[in-house]
């Protein structure tokens, strides 16, 4: 009984010694680890296709940034970004004074990527004419052209584009204006009572026009039983502002024209001019430059007129064209 007790005591002492040794070893390792951590930091060395590109201490943060870039690129129209190889990471101890360079690694990976964009082309006669960012815009352009009963609507469509090239986008309204074609029913030329030639065609004048006034159309352009109407009549109250339909130089101002009354002509270049007749006030002088939409006078009933209206003409090399083909 006594002997057994003694040997139990021996085992107890041996275990205690073992614990002591383990403890000492652990403390020793901690001290070594502490000393190492004073000089070194755990770091990931990053390689791309076997080539060293840099060090990072925060692997997950860097990889998250790379993944986000591959999904979204840096543009709204990115479909995805394709890179040939993904970066590889290996853990290492790096001296503390060596700098990590997440930005450099990211930029290097980014520079090796190919961005695929997704956007929409508006197609006329199977030819891509304009580009818009979103499908809704493309649909809205087609809808607007349908609504306006554009005569070329059957030739216009949209298509999704996937390309590594990003095109310039055009605003919806500009695409609609550029593609819109009014239905033409009458062709040929005629002569007005006053001798002016009128033309029933729609030559491309290369000029952007805007509606010069507000009101309702009271008389259209064209041959009539009694002579010919060389312009478009828009009627409204006396004093309604009249603005330049396009930018140009005021080439003619007359306060007493027998038929046109108070009248202004603006020259837009390329032999194109606009004429505004029957005005109550004129605010411009000959030789003055006016921008598109600039106030030039007010609506009236001067000259050969039975009520306040604007008689508007568009002439190309002296021949009157239908203003409704350009302004609507
Ligand atoms: Zn008229």
* pLDDT string in tens for the chain (328-residue length): 555 556 677 878 888 889 999 999 999 999 988 888 888 888 899 998 888 888 998 889 999 999 899 888 888 898 888 888 888 999 888 888 887 788 988 988 888 888 889 999 999 988 899 999 999 999 999 999 999 888 888 889 999 998 999 999 999 999 999 999 876 544 445 555 455 677 777 888 989 999 999 999 988 888 666 667 889 999 999 999 999 999 999 999 999 888 899 999 999 999 999 999 999 999 999 999 999 999 999 999 999 999 999 999 999 988 899 999 898 6
The DSSP secondary-structure symbol of 300 reads B
Distance 320 CA to ligand 1 centre (A): 12
Distance 218 CA to ligand 1 centre (A): 9
Among residues 93, 112, 131, which one ends one of the domains? 112
Distance 245 CA to ligand 1 centre (A): 16
Q: What is the pLDDT of residue 2?
A: 53
> Residues 243, 320: one domain?
yes
Residue 60: which H helix or E strand, with range?
helix 59-72
Distance 295 CA to ligand 1 centre (A): 20
> Residues 163, 260: one domain?
no
> Residues 200, 311: one domain?
yes
Distance 235 CA to ligand 1 centre (A): 10
| Domain-located, residue 1 | no
> Residues 220, 312: one domain?
yes
> Residues 47, 105: one domain?
yes
Count of structural domains, the chain: 3
Distance 207 CA to ligand 1 centre (A): 22
Distance 281 CA to ligand 1 centre (A): 18
CATH of the domain at 267: 2.70.70.10
Q: What is the pLDDT of residue 25?
A: 93
| Domain-located, residue 7 | no
> Residues 54, 102: one domain?
yes
Q: Which residue has the tokens 């605010």?
A: 283
> Residues 142, 97: one domain?
no
| Domain-located, residue 78 | yes
Distance 291 CA to ligand 1 centre (A): 24
Distance 278 CA to ligand 1 centre (A): 9
How far is CA 177 from each of CA 33, 79, 140, 207, 222, rounded to the nearest angstrom?
Answer: 74, 29, 13, 12, 24
Q: What is the pLDDT of residue 108?
A: 87
> Residues 122, 107: one domain?
no
| Domain-located, residue 10 | no
Distance 257 CA to ligand 1 centre (A): 14
Among residues 95, 112, 129, which one ends one of the domains? 112
> Residues 144, 100: one domain?
no
Domain that holds residue 141: 117-179
Task: Assign 3-class secondary structure to 108-159.
Answer: HHHHCCEEEEEEEEEEECCEEEEEECCHHHHHHHHHHHHHCCCCCHHHEEEE
pTM, to two decimals: 0.45
Is beta strand 88-95 parallel, antiparallel or unpaired with respect to 40-48?
antiparallel
Q: What is the pLDDT of residue 327?
A: 87
Distance 149 CA to ligand 1 centre (A): 26
Alpha carbons 100 and 93: distance in angstroms, whole number: 12
Alpha carbons 2 and 80: distance in angstroms, whole number: 82
Distance 261 CA to ligand 1 centre (A): 12
Among residues 85, 112, 139, which one ends one of the domains? 112
The DSSP secondary-structure symbol of 270 reads T
Is beta strand 309-316 parallel, antiparallel or unpaired with respect to 189-191?
unpaired
Question: Could you tell me the two tokens for 45?
Answer: 């060395």
Distance 311 CA to ligand 1 centre (A): 4
| Domain-located, residue 16 | no
| Domain-located, residue 266 | yes
> Residues 195, 315: one domain?
yes
Q: What is the pLDDT of residue 318?
A: 84
Distance 219 CA to ligand 1 centre (A): 7
Task: Look at residues 156, 163, 154, 150 and name the one whose alpha carbon lies nearest to residue 128.
Answer: 156
Distance 187 CA to ligand 1 centre (A): 20
Distance 188 CA to ligand 1 centre (A): 20
Alpha carbons 234 and 216: distance in angstroms, whole number: 5
| Domain-located, residue 297 | yes
> Residues 155, 196: one domain?
no
| Domain-located, residue 194 | yes
> Residues 201, 321: one domain?
yes
Q: What is the pLDDT of residue 186?
A: 46
């Amino acid at each position: 009984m006594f002997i057994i007790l003694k040997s139990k005591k021996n085992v107890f002492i041996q275990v205690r010694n073992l614990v002591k040794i383990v403890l000492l070893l652990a403390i020793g390792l901690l001290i070594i680890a502490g000393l190492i951590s004073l000089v070194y930091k755990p770091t990931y060395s990053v390689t791309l296709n076997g080539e060293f590109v840099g060090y990072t201490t925060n692997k997950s943060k860097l990889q998250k940034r790379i993944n986000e870039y591959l999904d979204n690129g840096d543009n709204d129209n990115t479909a995805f970004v394709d890179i040939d190889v993904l970066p590889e990471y290996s853990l290492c101890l790096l001296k503390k004074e060596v700098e990590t360079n997440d930005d450099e690694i990211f930029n290097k990976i980014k520079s090796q990527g190919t961005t695929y964009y997704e956007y929409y082309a508006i197609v006329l006669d199977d030819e891509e004419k304009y580009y818009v960012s979103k499908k809704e815009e493309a649909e809205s352009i087609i809808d607007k052209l349908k609504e306006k009963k554009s005569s070329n609507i059957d030739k216009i469509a949209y298509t999704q584009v996937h390309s590594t090239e990003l095109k310039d986008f055009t605003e919806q309204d500009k695409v609609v204006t550029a593609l819109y074609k009014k239905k033409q029913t009458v062709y040929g030329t005629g002569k007005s009572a006053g001798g002016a030639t009128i033309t029933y065609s729609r030559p491309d004048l290369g000029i952007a026009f805007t509606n010069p006034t507000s009101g309702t159309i009271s008389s259209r352009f064209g041959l009539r039983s009694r002579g010919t109407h060389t312009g478009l009549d828009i009627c409204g109250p006396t004093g309604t502002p009249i603005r330049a339909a396009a930018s140009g130089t005021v080439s003619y101002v007359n306060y007493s024209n027998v038929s046109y009354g108070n009248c202004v002509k603006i020259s837009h270049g390329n032999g194109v001019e606009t004429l505004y007749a029957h005005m109550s006030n004129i605010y411009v002088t000959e030789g003055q430059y006016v921008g598109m939409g600039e106030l030039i006078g007010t609506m009236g009933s001067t000259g050969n007129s039975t009520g306040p209206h604007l008689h508007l003409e568009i002439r190309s090399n002296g021949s009157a064209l239908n203003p409704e083909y350009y302004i609507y």
